Amino acid sequence: MNYIELSFTLSEKNPFSDIIIAKLNEIEFESYIESEKGVDAYIQKDFYNKQKVESVILDLKSLFAFDYSVKEIEQENWNSQWEENFHPVLINKDCAIRAHFHEPIDCKYEIIITPKMSFGTGHHETTFMMMNEMFEIEFENKSVLDMGCGTGVLAILANKLGSSKIIAIDIDEWSFENSKENAKLNSSENIEFILGNVSKINVEFDVILSNINRNIILQDIPRYVDYLLTNGNLLLSGFLNEDVELIRSEVEKLGLQFVSHKNKNKWNLLHFKK
């Protein structure tokens, strides 16, 4: 499986790299590596749409100046680059994420993630915020949905926090396979991984976790609400400041109560309760 690398060179990374990532999330780009020069974005070759990319480039050019390049790379080369840039992440005093080639970290919840193409290593603000917010929720004997699971890191943490039933769904086959591998690495093999989208939800949950992007979240909110149990928690992330009020409004229209809003470097998390 080959990938397309879209590489951006920026005069100033902040806040432009976040804007690039948010825009590319909407057209199915999956993973990002921030470098000294800017940001590199990746998508499976089969999902690459040149017309959509050119439209995003035009939108971005109207906001700020940058140079960019496009090239095809092999999966193995991407994995090598990822390993070089992957460093352990401390989520809080109790939780840390590392790769299998790092030294063990002495904490209550250590999660090992194989650094492959899937999104969700704790480095990005949205994953970091989601994992921190999970410590504000009771997971013991609860049922959990991780929607758009990426590496499976949120589902794995839910398992470590005591969840009795966990379903993790992703539309990307590479993420689906990678998340299963990571679950085994963490002895979290009771998680059910499903390849597909929100239509695969057919049971109710105590907790629903969705770290995807603005458009998918807005599209899927009604189904989340339908399949969230009374007193259940809904955590949403993957969107920028300008999307917060729209997403909050859509969720509250469907009867959920707002709990909290977290922000980190222009990325946001919203927590609701039914």
pLDDT, tens only, 160-177: 999 999 999 998 887 888
Looking at domain 2-82, its CATH architecture is 2-Layer Sandwich (3.30)
Closest to 157 measured CA to CA, from 177, 181, 183: 183
Task: State yes or no: cis peptide before 15, omega within 30 of 0.
Answer: yes
Q: What is the pLDDT of residues 40-87, one digit of tens each?
A: 888 878 888 999 999 999 999 998 999 999 998 776 555 666 666 678
Q: 49 Cβ partners below 8 Å, 6+ apart?
A: 27, 28
pLDDT score of 162: 96
Per-residue pLDDT averaged across 81-98, rounded?
82
| Spatial distance between the Cα atoms of 194 and 176, rounded to a whole number of angstroms | 7
Residue 240 has pLDDT above 90, yes or no: no
Q: What is the pLDDT of residues 9-40, one digit of tens each?
A: 988 777 788 888 888 888 878 777 777 788 88
Query: What's the CA angle centered on 156, arms 152 and 161, to 5 degrees?
Result: 150
**Packing angle, helices 50-61 and 16-25, rounded to 10:** 150
pLDDT score of 86: 73
Per-residue pLDDT averaged across 136-149, rounded?
96
Per-residue pLDDT averaged across 151-165, rounded?
95
Looking at domain 124-273, its CATH architecture is 3-Layer(aba) Sandwich (3.40)
- Strand 95-98 relative to strand 109-112: parallel, antiparallel, unpaired? parallel
Res. 247 pLDDT band, cuts 50 70 90 = very high
Between 175 and 263, whose confidence is greater? 263
Residue 237 has pLDDT above 60, yes or no: yes
| Spatial distance between the Cα atoms of 261 and 274, rounded to a whole number of angstroms | 16
The full set of domain ranges for the chain reads 2-82, 124-273
pLDDT score of 13: 72
Whether 113 and 151 have beta carbons less than 8 Å apart is answered as yes
Quote the pTM value: 0.78
Residue 222 has pLDDT above 80, yes or no: yes
Q: What is the pLDDT of residues 170-218, one digit of tens each?
A: 988 878 888 999 999 999 988 999 999 999 999 999 999 999 888 889 9
